Structures are given as C-alpha cells and as structure tokens.
Chain A
Amino acid sequence: MYCIDFNNIKKNFGNNTALNDLTININCGDSVSLIGPNGAGKSTTIKILAGLLEPDSGDVLISGYKPDAEEAKKIIGYLPEDASPYLTLSVRENLEYLGALRGIDDLNYKTDFFLDFLKLREYERNKVSSLSRGNRQKLSLALAIMHEPKILLLDEPLNYLDIPSQEDVIKYFKKMDATFLVSTHIMSIAERFTDNIVIINRGQKIWEGQIKQLKNMGDEENASMEAVISQIMGGL
C-alpha cells in the first residue's frame, strides 16, 4: 500500500484545467518533491490530498483512508502556500487553540517546544497580525506539524524563512518518521530535502525519478538542475 495514492486525478476550475490525469504514488516513509512552474497544479494536488478539495475524477487514498475521513485528518499535516494562522490570536494562543481542536496530549509541553525551537518565544504574546512574514511562516509550520503527523503535505514550506531557520526546519523534517510531499519551485530546496522528484506542468506529470538521475541528464557536464529541468520542460 502506498501512503500517498493519487490516481488519474482530473480537476477543472470552470474551463480551466488544473489537473489532467495526474498520478502520483508515494511509498510510506519516502520524501518526494513536487516541482513545476507557476500554475502547474502543485497547490491543487496538495489541496486534494489534504481532503479540502474534491477531484472531478480519479481515486485518492491517504494510508488507505479517504482524505477527508477523520482518520486521515489525524495523520495528515498540511501547510498551504502563503499560510495564515488566526490573525487575532497571539502566537501562543494559535498553538494552544489548534492543539485543543486536535486534542493533542501534553499540549503545554509541545507549545513550549515549538516556541523555543522556532525562536518564537519573544513573540509569544504578539498577535499574528503584527508578525513579520517569516515568523508567521514559522508559526504556520509549527501548526502543521505539532500533532506529529505521518503524512506531510507541504506547499512551499520554506518560503520567507531565513537560511538558518531553513536548515533547522529541514533537519527537523529529516528526523521525523513520516512520508513527505513537498511542493516547491526552487530546486535547491528539493535537493536538500528529498531524494525523489515529480515534475509536473499544466496538470500533467512530465518526469519522475531520483534527483541523482536528473543530474546526469544534462547535455553538458555540470549543467545546473534548473537548466536540466528547463530542458525537460522545453522538450514538451
């Protein structure tokens, strides 16, 4: 059984085709980067996996559950693109509120842990509306992972973060015993984080494999990953 099982998914928004027969299967414990240009369908894919959006056709299963089943909600950690926590609540209140909604045990301990780990302690009582974009992203990350999910669906997770925080977060992810699907349009992030990538464009898969393989595909020696990907996309 795949932990992320996304088969022949189609999704239209009006006349606009977002996903066109897209299939992505991920084994439990694997980390996969979802790469593609703007509008490729990355966010739509992730929203469907998170159970927030219904596909027009195709089958989705998360560890064997329907994505919007309560069992699936317990094991999914979803971070949308440009995530925004509750703006009127303070940083600590956001963590506690969501922890309570999710019924997390030892919530005080978890809250304190994330405040320190992401260096948000000094903003504990700050309303989210007053936080900088980077700190807001850190808080959003904490909110997405504080219930120790087994399946992580992260849409551009490192946006707005400074380099040390990026490193911390990646290290933390790597320690987690979970399955990752991470969307990004920045190759270096994909490279630091995952072994496998799926490249999509216009809602279709155009390449799938290991990052190592991709590196060997360039025409010239030492061609950058970006160049290789542009080449793949150009060949379409």
Chain B
Amino acid sequence: MNVKLLKFVLKTRVTSGYVILIFIFYFLEILYAVLAYFIGKTVKSEFLIAASIIASISLMEILFAGFYYKKSDFDFLFMTPVNRKELAKSFFTTSTLISSSFNFFMCYILLFTEHGYFAFLGLIDIFAILVINISISTIMRKYSTKTRIITIVTLIIWYIIPGFINFPFSPVSAFTGHIYSGTIIGLVLSLLLWLYVYNKSGNLPSTYYNFMAKKSAQIKENVKFSGMSPEKAVFSFNLKMLGGISVMRVGSTARVYAPRFKLTYSFIFSIGIAAVYTILFFYLPKSLYFQFLVGIYYLIYAVIIYPFTKGYAASSTERLWLSLMAMPSYKYFRLNAIGKSLSTEIFLIPLIIGNLILYFIFGHILFLRMLIITMVFGMLFTIIGYYIGGFYNTRQITDLGELSGHARYSIGNIITVIILIPFVLITIISLFIIPVLYIGIIALLIVSFSLILSKKINKRMQDSMVKRDFV
C-alpha cells in the first residue's frame, strides 16, 4: 500500500479537524469495549435490539459508502499519471477508515457479548461487518438498481434474523449467543470481500461511469404546473413528489443525486416502515425499559433526523435566482417551508397510526406521547431545519457536486450541530416528562412561527445564502 497516496486521498476527502474526529470515535469505541468488559452481560431478550441496531446502521453504511468519491476524482485524479490501481486502493482504504469511525454507533451492543473479554472481540466483529458492508456497496455499483436493492435487502435480512430466532450462521450471531460461529463467519467473509474489492478496485472509474450512465434520465410523466397560482405551484412541487436532491457529504466530499418519487410510492414505503415498527413491539419483551429504548431510537430517526434532514436539504437545494426573482424572500421561504412540513406530515401519518394502534393494544401512555411528538415535532423540525440550513449550512448543492471555495473550512456545520442539541434533548426528555412535552410544543411553535412570519428573518436568510454563493 502506498501510504503517501493514502494520505493524499484522505486529505482530499476530509478536513484535518475531521481526522481528529475519526480518532475520537475510535477512542470512544475502545472505551465502550472497556466498559462492556466490566458491566457487559448477555441478556437474551436484547438480541433483537442488537440485531436491529446492526442492521439499521449497516444499511446506512452501505448507502453512504459510495459518497467518498467526487466527480472530479474521476474526471481529473484518475486521468493523471498516478497508478490507477494504487489510487483506487487508497480510495477504498480511505472509505474503510472513515466509515469505521461510525462503528461507534453500534458499540452499544458490545454490552450483550457473552463474557467480558468478548467485548474486545466484539469490536473486531463490528469492524468485520463494516468491511462486508462497504465492500458489498462498492461491488454493487456496477449493477442495476433492482439487483442492488435485492442484494442489500437480503444482506439486511441476514443480519436481522439472529434477533428473531436462534441462528448461528450470520456475522451478527456473534452478538446473539453464537460468539464463535458469528465471529468466524464475519472475519472470513470480510477478509474475502476486502481482498476481492481491494484487488479489483482498479476498475472503479469504469464502474463509476456505468453507474452514472445508468441513472434514468427521463421521468415518466411531467408534473403540470401551468395554470397554477404561485402558492399552489410551490405546494405541488412539495407534495406531488418526495425525495428532492440529496447530496451525501462526508467530510468535504459531495455526491449529488436527484432521486424523486411520487408521493404515493413514498407513502407505501412509509407504511412498510410503520408496519415493521409496530410489529417490533410484539416481539420485544413487554418491559417498559425496552419500549422506551426502542421509542428513543424511533424518535431519533423519524422525528429528528428525517425532518431536519429534509428541511436542511431543501434550503441547500434552493435556487434563489429563480424563486426569489419571482417573489419576495419572506413569501417564498414561508410557502416552501410550510409545503415541506406538510410533506413530512404525510410521510409520518402511517407512523402516527402505528403508535395509535400500539396505544390501544398495550394501553401505555408512552405510545400516546410518541404519537403527539411525531405529529407535532416532525412538522416543526422540518421548518426549523429549513431555516437552519438557510442560515448555517455552508454547502450549497450545485449541479457539479463540488463545494464552493468559501464553504470548505467553515464552522457553519459545527454551529448547526450545536443548535440541534437542544432540540434533540427536548424531544427525548418529553417522552419521559409531560411538562417538557407541553413546553416543548409551545416553544417549537413559537420558534417556527417566528421563522415563517418574520420578514426580517427571511430577508436575513436570503442575504446569508447569497453571501455563501447560494444563488
């Protein structure tokens, strides 16, 4: 391996601050293992939680793994005289290094390993699972979307099975009582896949271009906007389709996708998620501890991450030279923020119903709270996310998928994270303490309404976006 090249690739992916963050994550992972060594105990009833955490984080790793590559890498870097194969190897290694820092989010399950000293082995198991994930993700790039979806779903099912039944033949089995078979399967598979991808990665540029070319360019049916009032057009834009542009960014790397789905498809997808979520509670041990634990995970994804990302992405993909030349900022931003939050609400309806069903069946007030939080917070977080993106996001999504020069070393994104912390805390605490729920609702309503209604705030957001080249 060419260490110099690896360093170069790593440096072009992430800032030095981020490298420090990676090491902090590594450190935390080890800390977790040490903790698990002392307090870890196998609790059979937690196997499902372990498997679900691994499966869901694996899914994210698989989806994110491709985004370490920039278009310019292929247009420029791979055309330079640097050895292609060596360069590709460095890329793959870099993506392993960066992704593995996220293993931290799986470390909770180290607590379920069979004996204290297996906690450290568990760390290796988690790493093996990561390698499997990103290798598969890399291999999958040359296949059609359908093949990719089938493969990924199969993999995820394989990961989650040990949570439901006594099944020793999955890497995840290491955390469900089959430490040896699980570990061996994980290690052997990851080693094979790693070697395969590492040696084949010289083909990366061509698979990349295949992948780009295969993206379907034409949409089946144009959405009609003609004849609509401006208000109706903005709502149609937000409500007839879901998805929008997504740019996955890791460090300073960006990849642009412009997927879009009809609202009906997204709704069906959401029904699927809601069904899995609701059924999960029937398999969980009927103790409050587990229900709250799953509840917190649920809130983090459905009520915090999804709505915030949606709002944030919406302002990052804004085209001010079009929208703000047609109407004043306060009017447009307001319409768009409301449109986006309605779209969030529609997506969340199945989950709201899921919680209602759970409340009727289990009769626990917890589900009623989750229902209220989902219904109210999800919408408001979309609005707040939209404005946070407008004010602090330093990364406009351009068609080139690259960052503007001003954005690279900005602290805007750190500010975003700091702003998010209180919202996350309010959400989670309001699950436990009713007054916080009420105060939270009122506070969020006040915040969202002042954002939507104030001409001054909207004008300042416009300034702030234009200054950061968000035109």
Residues of A within 8 A of B (CB): 13, 47, 50-54, 68, 70, 73, 76, 78-80, 82-90, 92-93, 96-103, 107-108, 111, 124-130, 136, 143
Whether the Cβ atoms of A52 and B222 lie closer than 8 Å is: no
State in angstroms the CA–CA spacing of A125 and B465 once bound together: 30
Residue B326 is within 8 A (CB to CB) of chain A in the complex: yes
A51-B325, A99-B225, A101-B326 known, 6 other contacts, Cβ within 8 Å: A50-B321, A50-B325, A70-B327, A87-B397, A100-B226, A100-B232
Whether the Cβ atoms of A88 and B243 lie closer than 8 Å is: yes
With A53-B466, A73-B326, A98-B326 given, is the CB distance from A84 to B226 under 8 Å? no
- CB closest residue in chain B, given A43: B471
Shortest beta-carbon distance from B313 to chain A in Å = 11
Partner of A70, one of B229, B317, B328, B462: B328
Whether the Cβ atoms of A68 and B399 lie closer than 8 Å is: no
Q: Tell which of B226, B229, B466 has the most Cβ of chain A within 10 Å.
A: B226
Residue B363 is within 8 A (CB to CB) of chain A in the complex: no
State in angstroms the CA–CA spacing of A86 and B245 once bound together: 9
Q: Tell which of A13, A54, A96, A108 has the most Cβ of chain B within 10 Å.
A: A96
Shortest beta-carbon distance from A58 to chain B in Å = 17
Which parts of B298-338 form the interface with A (CB within 8 Å)? 317, 319-328, 332
Query: What chain A residues lie within 8 Å of B121 (beta carbons)?
Result: none
Whether the Cβ atoms of B244 and A88 lie closer than 8 Å is: yes
Whether the Cβ atoms of B322 and A143 lie closer than 8 Å is: yes
- CB closest residue in chain A, given B213: A130
Which parts of B216-268 form the interface with A (CB within 8 Å)? 217-230, 232-234, 237, 241, 243-245, 256-260
Whether the Cβ atoms of A87 and B224 lie closer than 8 Å is: no
Shortest beta-carbon distance from B316 to chain A in Å = 12
Partner of A85, one of B222, B227, B322, B471: B322
With A86-B322, A88-B241 given, is the CB distance from A97 to B463 under 8 Å? no
Query: What chain B residues lie within 8 Å of A53 (beta carbons)?
Result: 463, 466-467
Whether the Cβ atoms of A87 and B317 lie closer than 8 Å is: yes
Residue B398 is within 8 A (CB to CB) of chain A in the complex: yes
Partner of B219, one of A13, A80, A96, A127: A127
Partner of A88, one of B220, B260, B328, B467: B260
Whether the Cβ atoms of A124 and B321 lie closer than 8 Å is: no
Q: Tell which of A70, A78, A88, A101 has the most Cβ of chain B within 10 Å.
A: A101
With A87-B256, A143-B322 given, is the CB distance from A100 to B229 under 8 Å? yes
State in angstroms the CA–CA spacing of A151 and B272 once bound together: 52
Residue B456 is within 8 A (CB to CB) of chain A in the complex: no
Query: What chain A residues lie within 8 Å of B219 (beta carbons)?
Result: 90, 125-127
Residue B364 is within 8 A (CB to CB) of chain A in the complex: no
Shortest beta-carbon distance from B453 to chain A in Å = 19
Whether the Cβ atoms of B471 and A101 lie closer than 8 Å is: no
With A47-B466, A129-B399 given, is the CB distance from A101 to B234 under 8 Å? yes
Which parts of B418-467 form the interface with A (CB within 8 Å)? 462-463, 466-467
**What are 16 sample pairs from A and B whose C-beta atoms fall under 8 A apart?**
A47-B466, A52-B471, A53-B463, A54-B463, A73-B325, A79-B321, A89-B223, A93-B222, A93-B225, A97-B225, A98-B326, A100-B227, A103-B229, A111-B226, A125-B221, A143-B322
Task: In the A-B complex, list the 10 residue pairs whose CB atoms are closest, starting with the nearest.
Answer: A130-B217, A100-B233, A129-B258, A96-B225, A101-B326, A107-B226, A100-B225, A84-B399, A87-B258, A100-B228
Residue B7 is within 8 A (CB to CB) of chain A in the complex: no
Whether the Cβ atoms of A96 and B326 lie closer than 8 Å is: no
State in angstroms the CA–CA spacing of A103 and B228 once bound together: 8
State in angstroms the CA–CA spacing of A100 and B466 once bound together: 23
Query: What chain A residues lie within 8 Å of B233 (beta carbons)?
Result: 97, 100-101
State in angstroms the CA–CA spacing of A123 and B332 once bound together: 28
State in angstroms the CA–CA spacing of A108 and B328 once bound together: 25
Whether the Cβ atoms of A92 and B399 lie closer than 8 Å is: no
Shortest beta-carbon distance from B271 to chain A in Å = 23
Which parts of B22-72 form the interface with A (CB within 8 Å)? none
Query: What chain A residues lie within 8 Å of B332 (beta carbons)?
Result: 101
Query: What chain A residues lie within 8 Å of B258 (beta carbons)?
Result: 87-88, 127-129
Query: What chain B residues lie within 8 Å of A124 (beta carbons)?
Result: 222
Q: Tell which of B243, B256, B322, B332 has the most Cβ of chain A within 10 Å.
A: B322
Query: What chain B residues lie within 8 Å of A136 (beta carbons)?
Result: 399
Query: What chain B residues lie within 8 Å of A99 (beta carbons)?
Result: 225-226
Query: What chain A residues lie within 8 Å of B243 (beta carbons)?
Result: 88
With A79-B321, A108-B226, A129-B256 given, is the CB distance from A102 to B245 under 8 Å? no
Residue B200 is within 8 A (CB to CB) of chain A in the complex: no
Query: What chain A residues lie within 8 Å of B230 (beta carbons)?
Result: 100-103
State in angstroms the CA–CA spacing of A84 and B321 once bound together: 9
- CB closest residue in chain A, given B323: A101
- CB closest residue in chain B, given A108: B226
Query: What chain A residues lie within 8 Å of B328 (beta carbons)?
Result: 68, 70, 73
Whether the Cβ atoms of B325 and A78 lie closer than 8 Å is: yes
Query: What chain B residues lie within 8 Å of A126 (beta carbons)?
Result: 217-219
Query: What chain B residues lie within 8 Å of A73 (beta carbons)?
Result: 325-328
State in angstroms the CA–CA spacing of A99 and B326 once bound together: 9
Per-residue CB contact flags for chain B residues 390-405 toward chain A (1 = under 8 Å, else 0) read 0000000111100000
